[in-house]
Amino acid sequence: MEGKENGPDGKKPGRVIDGPTNPMVTPLLNDLYQFTMAYAYWKAGKQSERSVFDLYFRKNPFGGEYTIFAGLEECIKFLANFNLTDEEIDFVRDSLPGCEEAFCDYLRGLDCSDVEVYAIPEGSVVFPKVPLLRIEGPVAVVQLLETPFLNLINYASLVATNAARHRFVAGKSKLLLEFGARRAQGPDGAISASKYCYLGGFDATSNVAAGKLFGIPLRGTHSHAFVSSFMSLDEIVDKALRSSDGKSTCEDFVSLVQTCLTKIQNSSSLHGVFSETNQSELAAFTSYALAFPSSFLALVDTYDVMKSGIPNFCAVALALNELGYKAVGIRLDSGDLAYQSTEARKFFCAIERELNVPDFGKMIITASNDLNEETVDALNKQGHEVDAFGIGTNLVTCYAQAALGCVFKLVEINNQPRIKLSEDVTKVSIPCKKRTYRLFGKEGYPLVDIMTGENEPPPKVGERLLCRHPFNESKRAYVVPQRVEELLKCYWRGNADEAREELEPLKEIRNRCIKQLENMRPDHMRRLNPTPYKVSVSAKLYDFIHFLWLNEAPVGELH
Amino acid sequence: MEGKENGPDGKKPGRVIDGPTNPMVTPLLNDLYQFTMAYAYWKAGKQSERSVFDLYFRKNPFGGEYTIFAGLEECIKFLANFNLTDEEIDFVRDSLPGCEEAFCDYLRGLDCSDVEVYAIPEGSVVFPKVPLLRIEGPVAVVQLLETPFLNLINYASLVATNAARHRFVAGKSKLLLEFGARRAQGPDGAISASKYCYLGGFDATSNVAAGKLFGIPLRGTHSHAFVSSFMSLDEIVDKALRSSDGKSTCEDFVSLVQTCLTKIQNSSSLHGVFSETNQSELAAFTSYALAFPSSFLALVDTYDVMKSGIPNFCAVALALNELGYKAVGIRLDSGDLAYQSTEARKFFCAIERELNVPDFGKMIITASNDLNEETVDALNKQGHEVDAFGIGTNLVTCYAQAALGCVFKLVEINNQPRIKLSEDVTKVSIPCKKRTYRLFGKEGYPLVDIMTGENEPPPKVGERLLCRHPFNESKRAYVVPQRVEELLKCYWRGNADEAREELEPLKEIRNRCIKQLENMRPDHMRRLNPTPYKVSVSAKLYDFIHFLWLNEAPVGELH
């Protein structure tokens, strides 16, 4: 991608951050009302009033009790390059009825040099109500960040969480491959999915663009179409294959494969398991092995896994073995994966044993048919021999819950705390510019997150602290933290020269995610009835919230 | 967006089609296995074998019996500009173990000049198993189109169908607004959603970028934050407002609003309905009206709809009315929308009657809180006064079903028909290069879609024809069509000079969609237990499918 209109203009100091991955992320990726409000603020002379907004979600997704925060890097890249082109400004003007020309001049000068962003580091395990980002700046500018920030964080965090949940159920030792490009919600859905699934603990993707953009390892074999594009072994013209050490050449690899197939057919324990295998499949496998002798992996379910796919694969793998190559394994894409993987493993082990081929039983078995958390869990309970899961549709579209509901709420303007009321108490916002801390207990697990007013003293290690539920007055606990971590760190200070957090490589973000997940108390993580993690406010903030609430809520009148 | 690396190169004749909307749609937006297969085809000398692939889905989404086909334009734009840059080729080479340099030369020369694409026109009502696209060309090239085409069509068709379903339940007369940008699956999810919801029958979007890219009407008001950013009426400094005809100026619009509020408070039928309204809300509304006097629309649920929002809105609307402006209406974003809209309508009508303000009762009421097909249906059953629905999360993420399962199957290679078998009969593919027709009955409704072999004579108006279920031998019907429409039209002929369909403006595609939906037999469309539309094959194709099936499927052996 090059030539982004909204890229850095090189004129402003300290702006050396690249633009967002997707060049379509411009200030126009916005709800119209952000611009109508900007205009109304500007008309009222309020556009520069200092405001503080919190970005947070209200409920963990997928019936779980944790969420992975992702999307921050893209937000900062967007913000660092925030600038409206003349063409964009013309379009905005034409979209606002009665818009004065002077407002266009105002838009022309807009950037984020007066904005500050504090955020929890990307890849962190996060919880409802605690601000993921605190954004401070001129109210009209900050409102223009609302829609793009929500768009960049909602799906990123949702799919990263989905990936983490799949990793949890699959276990550490399995290889997890993201195969979602074809079913994702649009091209960017695909590329973001690959990025954030990797962040959430996947090992690789099939998406070449994501591999190139983010350095994610790539995986892929061949499809059923490849198999059915072959008719017979006669099609293979160039039959020669050099041995792995380069010292010799097998002039007729096709015959070698056929010899190996006969050997399997005649071996005592495999005799009678299968009869004739499909010859077009054998031709496809042989041809694929000639192209990739050192990384041969075959899709074995085009015709019949046990009667054709596995024997054909083994014949080719044995032939490769004779030339010093080691086949990688197979992919199963239909049917009963538990049964097929177990039978395939038996077959491989029989060959290792009978034909004396070391490690043949360790062939990698990949499974990839409409998998999700539930099916992987069910496979585990049933017992299987799958080493790698390729997961697509359910993972990338977050089929079990297709949206995360992050919101962006005004909590302070002109140093006046603001609260958003609602008849639904879970929708009442927590006012004030706040600080947030994670308190850790004796065993090293995080115990509780606490929000305090900006100027309250921070919690201290070893000192007893009252943590209150923000809305339920009877829910309180004293905590003596063994470790205190301030959650919000400064990622953007506008033009100020002070230090701020650097954007980290994806791999480090991924490591943070994996490490934090490992450090969670197990009962928060389990799939069935997990224990909610506690989110609290200080006693002082509690009192202030309820003072403000009563102050703003109208008193009903009964007649 | 400009400067696309993969844009048209201007060198090849007849290529004047713009690139895809999203510049991230490049040949690398692909599963790795398309490249490993391309390499294996190339190694085997098979890369140019003429192949035919069908793109189709197996099941209508959302429990319905129809689907809207969308995404074709983006596919053609991608195909027309298909070309790998040197940087991309280097990356592919490094991703394929043992890749020969000569393959890079092959990739360098790749384009779609030998590819032909036949498709059903975008915006059509379509059904399972019938090819949406038939793609013909060199096997290695066509395989490289699989992932991008599926990606571009799956979500587009899914969300267009979702929009059409929302339109169906809301009814023709309601205004439907897409408000999904913040919750969509990534930036492109947002922009595609806006495009395809409009195609599926929505009237407008809040997404400014989509408005600019596709000419979709924009809608938007203000948020709760705007309301809570105001403290009191004293904040409003510039209180003057010119009358609508420009002939006079009201020097103190704030006082006029206050006078109007008192008038409402004192009117006989509204007296006692409310007491003090929230003053920061009144200040926000007044300020917003000063910015947009000719298009005033207010969000009225920040504090209390009936006790504060509606009276405040009416005061401002009345003040505007005195200066010759007409307010547009209100937006409700929480609570019981049926009740609130009905009460609001009563309030507006009371003002029209008592204060003698013509049309005040016709104020537009917009509702927008987590709406979906079910909630709109429930509102209809309950009775409401909503004129416009703003729908976000559920619409754009297709929450009820987050993915459509389009597939891309090889049906012929080197003039040899190919079939993909599966133990699950719904997954067996229909082989052969085919033609497809829609047959219409006496009442003008479509009756059945039929697939035939390429060289069979087309169905004729007035001639009796046997239509067979492709897999169920007992399901057959004679049809005498009153009209026959061939479904697949040529949208891409590679370098050939012959005529092909032009890409149409979005508005025409949208009109096709609306017209075709109106022309469907009502029982296919109903939400509960709709009648499946019939999809069939000719008697000749039926026989051939089953011949090929028996030919390819292995015969089991029982011992």
Which range has the worst mean pLDDT, A109-113, A421-425, B160-164? A421-425
CB-CB under 8 Å, A24 with B22: yes
Average pLDDT over residues B45-67: 97
Residues of chain A numbered 338-397 and touching chain B (CB < 8 Å): 393, 397
**Would the pLDDT of A555 be above 90?**
no
The pLDDT confidence band at residue B559, using thresholds 50, 70 and 90, is low
Nearest CA in chain B to A239: B44
A437–chain B Cβ distance below 8 A for any pair: no
Q: Report chain A residues whose CB lies below 8 A from the CB of B26.
A: 209
Place of tokens 């929308």: B337
The pLDDT confidence band at residue B158, using thresholds 50, 70 and 90, is very high
pLDDT tens per residue across span B383-403: 999 999 999 999 999 999 999
Q: How far apart are CA B115 and CA B207, in angstroms?
A: 35
Which range has the worst mean pLDDT, A1-10, A507-516, B179-188? A1-10
Q: Report chain A residues whose CB lies below 8 A from the CB of B20.
A: 187
* pLDDT reported for residue B421: 82
**Would the pLDDT of B420 be above 80?**
yes
Q: Report chain A residues whose CB lies below 8 A from the CB of B298.
A: none
> Residue B48: enclosing H or E segment and its boundaries?
none
CB-CB under 8 Å, A228 with B41: no
B187–chain A Cβ distance below 8 A for any pair: yes
What type of residue is B433? K
Residues of chain B numbered 192-211 and touching chain A (CB < 8 Å): 192, 206-209, 211
Q: Report chain B residues whose CB lies below 8 A from the CB of A4.
A: 1, 3
**Would the pLDDT of A273 be above 90?**
no
Q: How far apart are CA B107 and CA B89, in angstroms?
A: 7
Which range has the worst mean pLDDT, A64-68, B77-81, B171-175, B421-425? B421-425
Q: Report chain B residues whose CB lies below 8 A from the CB of A222.
A: 33, 36-37, 40
**Would the pLDDT of B499 be above 90?**
no
Q: Report chain A residues whose CB lies below 8 A from the CB of B143.
A: 223, 225-226
Phi and psi angles of residue B321, each rounded to the nearest 5 degrees, phi first = -60, -40
Residue % of chain A over a pLDDT of 90: 89
* pLDDT reported for residue A420: 87
**Would the pLDDT of A271 be above 80?**
no
Concatenated DSSP letters of A426-461: GG----S-EEEEEEE-TTS-EEEEEEEETTSPPP-T
* Of the partner residues A37, A223, A424, the one whose CB lies closest to the CB of residue B33: A223
**Would the pLDDT of A493 be above 60?**
yes
Distance of CA A51 to the CA centre of its chain: 31
CB-CB under 8 Å, B49 with A291: no
Closest CA to A32 of B205, B472, B489, B268: B205
Q: Which of A28, A31, A133 to mutate to test the interface with B (most CBs of B within 10 A)?
A: A31
Q: How far apart are the first and last CA of chain B?
A: 66
* pLDDT reported for residue B2: 35
CB-CB under 8 Å, B24 with A287: no
**What is the DSSP code (8-state) at residue B475?**
-
Mean pLDDT taken over chain B: 94
* pLDDT reported for residue A6: 40
* pLDDT reported for residue B558: 67
Q: Please give the structure tokens belonging to residue B433.
A: 């290069």
- Judged by DSSP in three states, A53 sits in strand
A49–chain B Cβ distance below 8 A for any pair: yes
The pLDDT confidence band at residue B466, using thresholds 50, 70 and 90, is very high
Q: How far apart are CA B398 and CA A547, in angstroms?
A: 41
CB-CB under 8 Å, B181 with A186: no
**Would the pLDDT of A178 be above 50?**
yes
Nearest CA in chain B to A206: B31
What type of residue is A105? D
Distances (CA, A) of A88 to A6, A23, A84, B208: 10, 14, 6, 10
* pLDDT reported for residue A33: 97
Q: Which residues are CB-contacts of A473 (< 8 A; sequence separation ≥ 6)?
A: none
B457–chain A Cβ distance below 8 A for any pair: no
* pLDDT reported for residue B557: 67
Q: Report chain A residues whose CB lies below 8 A from the CB of B225.
A: 37, 53, 143, 408-410, 420
Mean pLDDT taken over chain A: 94
The pLDDT confidence band at residue A276, using thresholds 50, 70 and 90, is confident
Closest CA to B274 of B266, B286, B282: B266
CB-CB under 8 Å, B53 with A207: no
B184–chain A Cβ distance below 8 A for any pair: yes
Q: Report chain A residues whose CB lies below 8 A from the CB of B238.
A: 43-45
* pLDDT reported for residue B64: 98
* pLDDT reported for residue A270: 83
Average pLDDT over residues A497-513: 94
Q: How far apart are CA A392 and CA A177, in angstroms?
A: 8
B37–chain A Cβ distance below 8 A for any pair: yes
**Would the pLDDT of B531 be above 70?**
yes
* Of the partner residues B150, B303, B413, the one whose CB lies closest to the CB of residue A421: B303
B102–chain A Cβ distance below 8 A for any pair: no
B494–chain A Cβ distance below 8 A for any pair: no
* pLDDT reported for residue A557: 66
How many C-beta atoms surround the C-beta of residue A559 within 10 A?
A: 3
Residues of chain A numbered 510-549 and touching chain B (CB < 8 Å): none
* Of the partner residues B22, B218, B224, the one whose CB lies closest to the CB of residue A420: B224
Q: Which long-range contacts (CB under 8 A, 24 or more apart) does B492-499 make?
A: B492/B76, B492/B79, B492/B80, B492/B112, B492/B115, B492/B116, B492/B117, B493/B116, B494/B112, B494/B113, B494/B114, B494/B115, B494/B116, B494/B137, B495/B12, B495/B13, B495/B14, B495/B113, B495/B114, B496/B116, B497/B14
* pLDDT reported for residue B189: 86
Q: How far apart are CA B446 and CA A480, in angstroms?
A: 72
By CB atoms closer than 10 A (0-12, 13-18, 19+), residue B481 is buried
By CB atoms closer than 10 A (0-12, 13-18, 19+), residue B364 is middle
Q: Report chain A residues whose CB lies below 8 A from the CB of B28.
A: 208-209, 212
The pLDDT confidence band at residue A480, using thresholds 50, 70 and 90, is very high
* pLDDT reported for residue A558: 67
Q: How far apart are the first and last CA of chain A?
A: 66
Nearest CA in chain B to A155: B185
Average pLDDT over residues A259-267: 94
Residue % of chain B over a pLDDT of 70: 96
Between B271 and B120, the more confident residue is B120
Which range has the worst mean pLDDT, A22-31, A273-282, A378-387, B369-378? A273-282
The pLDDT confidence band at residue A4, using thresholds 50, 70 and 90, is very low
Q: Please give the structure tokens belonging to residue B500.
A: 């092909």
Which range has the worst mean pLDDT, A107-111, A275-279, A437-441? A275-279
Closest CA to A20 of A211, A28, A53, B29: A28
**What is the DSSP code (8-state) at residue A483?**
E
Closest CA to A264 of A395, A354, A326, A385: A354
CB-CB under 8 Å, B33 with A208: no
Nearest CA in chain A to B415: A229
**Would the pLDDT of A554 be above 90?**
no
Alpha helices in B178-309 (DSSP H): 186-199, 208-214, 224-228, 253-266, 279-291
Average pLDDT over residues A274-292: 94
* Of the partner residues B185, B295, B553, the one whose CB lies closest to the CB of residue A189: B185
**Would the pLDDT of A401 be above 70?**
yes
The pLDDT confidence band at residue A364, using thresholds 50, 70 and 90, is very high
Q: How far apart are CA B30 and CA B88, in angstroms?
A: 12
Query: How far B37 CA lies from chain A's nearest CA (Å)?
Result: 6
Distance of CA B274 to the CA centre of its chain: 43
pLDDT tens per residue across span B1-18: 333 334 334 334 444 799
Distance of CA B473 to the CA centre of its chain: 36
* pLDDT reported for residue A15: 46
Count of CB pairs separated by less than 8 Å, A with B: 412
* Of the partner residues B228, B303, B334, the one whose CB lies closest to the CB of residue A410: B228
* pLDDT reported for residue B7: 37
Q: Can you count the helices (H) and strands (E) in chain B?
A: 17, 22
Q: How far apart are CA A544 and CA B329, in angstroms?
A: 36
* pLDDT reported for residue B270: 84
Does residue A371 contact residue A391 with C-beta atoms inside 8 Å?
A: yes
Q: Report chain B residues whose CB lies below 8 A from the CB of A556.
A: 307
Place of tokens 């954007």: A503
* Of the partner residues B36, B231, B304, the one whose CB lies closest to the CB of residue A220: B36
pLDDT tens per residue across span B313-355: 999 999 999 999 999 999 999 999 999 999 999 999 999 999 9
